[in-house]
Amino acid sequence: MKKFISILILMTTMFSTAYANGIRSTISNIIEDSKISKNAISISIKNADTGKTVYHLNDKKLTPPASVQKAITIIPIAETLGTEYELSTKLYARGKNSYVIKLGADPYLSFKDLKNLVSKINKENVTKIYIDDSITEKKDWGEGWQWDDDLNPLMPRFNSYNLDNNIVKVTIMPTTEGQQAAIINPSKYPYAFYNNIITGKENNVKVERDYDYHFNKIILTGTINSSYTITIPNNNLRRYFYIRLKEALAENGIYLKEPFTTTTLQNSDVFISEVKHPLSDSISDILKNSNNMAIESLSKIAAAEKYKKTGTDTDAVRLFEEYCAKRGIDCSEIKIVDASGVSKNNLLNADFISEYLIKNKANALYEKLPHSGEGTLANRMIPLKDNLNAKTGTLSDISSIAGFLTTKRGNHYVFCIMINDPASTSSAKKVLEDYIIRKMYLDM
């Protein structure tokens, strides 16, 4: 009997070794065929049920994870705020003639919301409006964000004055062929447009900001054939908010002589109304659509809620580290400076990310990760359908993906793949990720 058990253990060990060698060989061949250097690739694959590592490559190598990081930072944010939390912008009365707008740094606040809020003001007696912007710090960009991405609408500034996604949409209209196109800016934000767009045979528009002359000067060059909309991130969120607030007041018949003034809410201020957006919607947006402004705002809102003071990025990192300590997750070897993964100062490794996913696999938030065919996976690995749900990430030179996979055989895995390679295209990196994941699905 003992001899039989020994033989059985030996056979099991041999099978496991052969299986592991087969996986290693398969992935190695896929990587070799991709022509992307092994040194640029970090992979960690773990059995989701046992936590055992079944494949790794450079899994302890620190790499900027890009937006995969959102799947890591969203958990302590949501735990701190609670699933029923609502992002809120509030209106209070102060005395007989003044009002206070208490900002909530709500990344989904719109001009329509603002109009609805100020419609509750008694226009017959108002003489002064105060703004309480104390919920988050004045800093409106993340550490290590790239200044030359200033015109990237996916990376807008963010702070207490979030409004209209912190972007301005400008429409360019064709006129007579060969003549200058027309520019329509309904936001009334005082951009100075240097219009060198000619009505021609195609839409081919280039947008630049004139950093040397004036930050509000936007240089437009190229041709236009049909109506074309460009999206410009705001460079002064408070100024934009004040312009739109003044417009909202005017639409409600309110015209003030005194300027808006910042304040902090007082105990004697009387609540009148608020506009709200549920946290649950923002979590879905963050995980499926990778909304940078939303998660950066939420991280500071959560820090403000946790520590009962103005929310800062430093306290948001502290919040994350305390969560890891509570869950027994060692984060001493990694570096996180923002919530979104936009900064290349973030340094994580594939082993940490896969281990974090293992420790949090039962968290209901991960049900909101996009499946194949939706969100940032809209055009990727569609045949896998609900067997895959994962967060993707993209930065210059970097592509990443991490999440959960149920294979064709019914086995469950967590995985993280990060590729940091300036010599290959973003498309080539994602093709490699897809091949590895599809092979996992078929063979593991």
- How do residues 345-356 score in pLDDT, each as one tens digit? 999 999 999 999
Neighbours of 122 (CB within 10 A): 12
Q: Tens digit of pLDDT for each residue in 177-195?
A: 999 999 999 988 889 899 9
Alpha-helical runs (H) found in 268-349: 279-289, 292-307, 313-327
Q: Taking 60 as the threshold, does the pLDDT of residue 49 lie above it?
A: yes
Q: Tens digit of pLDDT for each residue in 257-272?
A: 999 999 999 999 999 9
Fold topology of 23-81+281-443: Beta-lactamase (3.40.710)
User: What percent of the chain stands above pLDDT 90?
Assistant: 87
pLDDT of residue 146: 82
pLDDT tier at 22, thresholds 50, 70, 90: low
Q: Tens digit of pLDDT for each residue in 302-321?
A: 999 999 999 999 999 999 99
Q: Are 227 and 171 in contact (CB under 8 A)?
A: yes
User: What type of residue sits at position 439?
Assistant: K
Q: Taking 60 as the threshold, does the pLDDT of residue 42 lie above it?
A: yes
Tokens of 218: 């936007």
List the strands of the sheet with 98-102, edge to edge.
261-262, 128-132, 98-102, 86-94, 270-278
pLDDT of residue 21: 63
SS3 label, residue 133: coil
Residue of higher predicted confidence among 11 and 394: 394
- Read off the DSSP letter of residue 13: H
pLDDT of residue 62: 98
Q: Taking 80 as the threshold, does the pLDDT of residue 20 lie above it?
A: no
pLDDT of residue 36: 97
pLDDT of residue 211: 76
Give the span between the Cα atoms of 412 and 441, in whole angstroms.
10
Q: Taking 60 as the threshold, does the pLDDT of residue 17 lie above it?
A: no
Domains in the chain: boundaries? 23-81+281-443
